[in-house]
Structure 1
Amino acid sequence: MFTGIIETLGKVTNLEHDKGNLHITVMSPLSNELKIDQSVAHNGVCLTVVSLSGTTHTVTAIEETLNKTNLGGLQIGSLVNLERCMQMNARLDGHIVQGHVDQTAVCTSFKALDGSWEYQFTYDGAKGNITVEKGSICVNGISLTVVGSSLNYFSVAIIPYTFEHTNLQHVTEGATVNLEFDIIGKYVARLMQR
């Protein structure tokens, strides 16, 4: 389990295709602290560390993951948001995040405001996922508060710290991001369908 509070950015240094899998090597300040078989969220996707080498670590994304996330679009030099799994005695500063991406969204608008930034995203509402104003949403692994919401659209406001310390600084109109909807909201929606 994760919180959506990004620890650091990592830079993709190698991509290796192996049948339907993609081995992703990332250089980061966290890499030398990781262990083999540890879970680390990469852009909100929970992946297992499979190898370590100094300041880099490698994880593997299977075809299912590549089909449902933006990881298949990574390139050498891409920045990824990184978060290690939450410790049981830690504070939950963001919200409950599983590292299981529900679907992707496209950035339809990005604008700088006076001291903050606003992003608008659209997603396929037919998949049954919803957002609510002032509710939580996880975008590329970042726990954010929804500002505006409709059936297949939501917006978020970004403070300078989040903008500077995550890969949102590189998200522009047309970019694809990973979404994990609020787990409590998903259970409530499922119960209402019954």
Structure 2
Amino acid sequence: MAKAIFAGGCFWCMVQPFDTQPGISKVISGYTGGTVANPTYDQVASHTTGHTEAVEITYDPTLISYAELVEIYWRQTDPTDAMGQFQDRGDSYRPVIYVNNDKERAIAVASKAKLAASGRFTQPIVTTIETAQPFYPAEIEHQDFYKKNPWRYRIEEQGGRDQFIHEKWQD
């Protein structure tokens, strides 16, 4: 099994698209990239710890590749918005592909360049590619949010994410 970490706004909205894919055994909501060990949601929301909300994906690379995960990631985010995603604003919601090694970095960089060259977006692709930092699972109430709170999850999706995805990725 391998692990991948992606940040793309509120972690609630980043779980379901990965969780439903064959070869993915677990998707955990959490925090990464900050200066405090084991931060709480309130600490991260204060924008004083430097953490980003993210998901850690445990997957079987013989069933789904890292490149496929990156492609799923692009289709969940607005890669032209550096300081938040949809209704979620601020540094803790910025879009980041966290890489564990040079091979993952090369895949992410090539995929980003391909997306930039595709003409799908008129603004620059600003999603960053950064070296993975320690990942801290979020509190239990944030895990599997789309399953435990489908009504509230649906409201979060309707904060612009669903419409954006439909408009940009309908093909």
TM-score higher than 0.5 here?
no
User: TM-score if structure 1 supplies the norm length?
Assistant: 0.23
Instruction: Report which structure shows greater RCO (CA 8 Å, sep ≥6).
Output: 2
Greater percentage in helix = 2
User: TM-score if structure 2 supplies the norm length?
Assistant: 0.26
Greater percentage in strand = 1
